[in-house]
Amino acid sequence: MMNINIAELKTDLGRELPFSFTTTAEELDAVSEDYQFEGPIKVTGTVVYTGSCWRVAGKIEDVKTFVCGRCLAECRENQVHDFSEDFSREAAETEDLVNVFEGDMLDIQDMIRDTLLAAQPLSNICKPDCKGLCPVCGQNLNDGDCGCDRFVPDPRMAALQQLLKKD
C-alpha cells in the first residue's frame, strides 16, 4: 500500500510534505503480456495543502523491457512519468476532478498504477523510424538493406497488368 499520512500537514496552507515509495509491477497490478517493468518502480513527490484540497504531485521512474513490434529486437527503456492529482475529504460538485478520501491517510496506489499504465504507448517500437523486417528474407532493415525485391504491385491495378501481358 502507498499511504501518505497527512496528519502532520493538518491545514498548513502551502506546506510541502515529501514522500517516496519503491514498489514493483506485481504489487501495483501493472503486469502486461506486451511488456515488463524490470526492477523496482520508484515514486517520489510532495503533498501540499492548497486551501481546498491536498495536491499530490511527483514522478514515477521505471525501466520497461519489451520486444519491438516491427523489428523484433529486445528493447529496454528508462521512463519517467509526472503526475498531479487533487484529494479532498468531501465530495465536491466537480467530483470527477478530485479524489475523495477519509481520515488522515491518502492512498495513492491506484493513481500511480493508472498513471503508469496510461503512459504506455499502444504499440511497442524501438524507435519512431524503425524500418522493421524484410518481408522476403526477414532481415532487420535497421541494420542495412538486404537487396531483396520488395515491390508489391497495387492489387487495384491487376486488371491493367493483365492487359499488358496479352501483347
| SS3 label, residue 125 | coil
**63 in the same domain as 135:** no
**120 in the same domain as 100:** yes
Long-range contact pairs involving 118-127 (C-beta distance under 8 Å, separation at least 24): 119/79, 119/81, 120/32, 120/35, 120/64, 123/69, 124/34, 124/35, 124/66, 124/67, 124/68, 124/69, 124/75, 125/68, 125/69, 125/70, 126/68, 126/70, 126/71, 126/73, 126/75
Whether residue 14 has pLDDT greater than 80: yes
CB 49 within 8 A of CB 9: yes
**147 in the same domain as 76:** no
d(CA 35, CA 31): 8
Find the domain containing 163 and state its range: 131-167
**105 in the same domain as 29:** yes
The pLDDT, as a whole number, for residue 82 is 97
d(CA 23, CA 8): 24
Quick: pLDDT tens for 75-122: 999 999 999 999 888 766 555 567 888 888 899 999 999 999 999 999
**139 in the same domain as 125:** no
**48 in the same domain as 25:** yes
Letter string b/e over residues 122-138, b meaning 16 or more CB atoms within 10 A of that residue's CB: eebbbeeebeebeeeee
Mean per-residue pLDDT over the chain, rounded: 88
pLDDT band at residue 167 under the 50/70/90 scheme: low
Whether residue 68 has pLDDT greater than 70: yes
